[in-house]
Structure formats: C-alpha cells, structure tokens
A and B are shown apart, each in its own frame.
Chain A
Amino acid sequence: NAGVMQNPRHLVRRRGQEARLRCSPMKGHSHVYWYRQLPEEGLKFMVYLQKENIIDESGMPKERFSAEFPKEGPSILRIQQVVRGDSAAYFCASSPPSGRNTEAFFGQGTRLTVV
C-alpha cells in the first residue's frame, strides 16, 4: 500500500557497517510492525512498536538489531555491524490506534544487500 512509506528501497552495506531502515506509517496510524523476508522464505515478525514504546520484540535478534518509533518522525530499524546473513527484504506495516493487526497495511520494503 503506497500509504506506508519505506526508504530507502534498496540499501547496500559492507560487512561491519550500520544499516538504517525508515518507515513512515499511514496517516493516522500509530502502530508499526517490522517483518523480515529472507529469500525463499515467508515473512517473519520482528518487532511491534507504538509511539515511543516497544510493545513486542520477541522476533528481534538479541544482538545488533534495534528499533524505535519516536514521538516525531519515522520508525527506524537499525542493524549494527551487518553480516551477509542480514541480506533480506525488510517490510514495515502500520495499523490505526485500535491496534488490531487485521487492519495493517504494508510498505514496499527495503531490500538490504550486505557485500
């Protein structure tokens, strides 16, 4: 859905660098979800955030990955010291304040390539 904006669309990083992925939710949406899609695999839940709060980060790797959704500005997924295995498509979805994921809409994704 064009309403959820992700940038950049494509990101190339060398091993050891940091990757920052941005997600601007649809207007009026205050809940953001991040998913990772590895080649030949489905989408895997990473983290669920509301403004200034992490609600569920059970899908986030314990190290190098972090996410935030500040009061102002987009949600950021940060990957420190990237490795080749981080290469994937990262999708963001947003939903309105009711918080029910049934109304979530996805962005077009950021394709991260680690070289």
Chain B
Amino acid sequence: QQQVKQSPQSLIVQKGGISIINCAYENTAFDYFPWYQQFPGKGPALLIAIRPDVSEKKEGRFTISFNKSAKQFSLHIMDSQPGDSATYFCAASKGNQFYFGTGTSLTVIP
C-alpha cells in the first residue's frame, strides 16, 4: 500500500524554468513532510521540510506548498538549474517511520 503518492515520475525543465513535483498522502496522523534530493550513487539528502501547521515554506529557490484539507503538498524549484538535476523524493513521517514517494527524476536542460 503506497502511503505517499508522487508525480510525475520524470520531469524535464528548461534552465530558468519552474519545476513542480506533487505528492499526496492518506494518513492524517503524519506530522512532518520533508523533501529529499538524491544524486546518482549518493544517499538522499534533506532538502526542505514542512509541518502541517503552515501552508508554505521557502528556502532560497525551493518552496514547499502544503494543502492540509486536500492532503497534498508540492515542491517548487524556481529558476531551475542544471545542477538541480537529480531524483527528488517526498516523504511523510509519523514518529520514527518515514513513508517515501516513488521519486521524480528531474532533468534541467541548459
């Protein structure tokens, strides 16, 4: 059972464009929603995270939008750069256990 559904599976964006990745969850007990960035051959690294008491969090070019009523959250990468090309995972956690989405492979073309 997929607790967190992520889309799209892959995304190609022109340099300078906006990359948008969406996630949806079912369990309302989740209380922490991080995004991880993973480069080939590396482990996931925490990128940005949000708690359900806020609707938006911005860190540099990265923004999380959170819609509690719809049980959805999304990652926006503004002014996308070729160095942003990686796989992005959303996750939802409750206590010590994370549930990850299936990942989005982002390619930013120059």
Interface residues of A (CB under 8 A from B): 1, 4, 6, 31, 33, 35, 40-45, 48, 55-56, 58-59, 91, 93, 99-102, 104-109
By the criterion CB–CB under 8 Å, are B97 and A48 in contact?
A: yes
Complex interface: chain A residues within 8 A of B74 (CB) = none
Interface residues of B (CB under 8 A from A): 4, 6, 32, 34, 36, 41-46, 49, 89, 91, 93, 95-103
Question: Considering only CB atoms, which chain B residue lies closest to A106 in the complex?
Answer: B43
Mostly, the B contact residues are strand
Complex interface: chain A residues within 8 A of B99 (CB) = 45
Question: Considering only CB atoms, which chain A residue lies closest to B2 in the complex?
Answer: A42
| Shortest Cβ distance from residue A91 to the other chain B in the assembled complex, whole angstroms | 5
By the criterion CB–CB under 8 Å, are A101 and B97 in contact?
A: yes
Complex interface: chain B residues within 8 A of A43 (CB) = 44, 89, 91, 98, 100
Interchain CB contact (< 8 A) of A1 among B4, B6, B43, B95 = B43
By the criterion CB–CB under 8 Å, are A91 and B44 in contact?
A: yes
By the criterion CB–CB under 8 Å, are B100 and A42 in contact?
A: yes
| Cα–Cα distance between A106 and B95 once the two chains are bound (Å) | 17
| Cα–Cα distance between A43 and B6 once the two chains are bound (Å) | 12
Given contacts A42-B101, A107-B43, contact A102 B93 (CB under 8 A): yes
Complex interface: chain A residues within 8 A of B43 (CB) = 1, 4, 6, 91, 93, 106-109
Given A43-B91, A108-B42, 20 more A-B residue pairs with CB atoms under 8 Å apart are: A6-B43, A33-B98, A35-B98, A42-B89, A42-B101, A42-B102, A48-B96, A55-B96, A56-B96, A91-B44, A101-B32, A101-B93, A101-B95, A102-B32, A102-B93, A105-B46, A106-B44, A108-B41, A108-B43, A109-B43
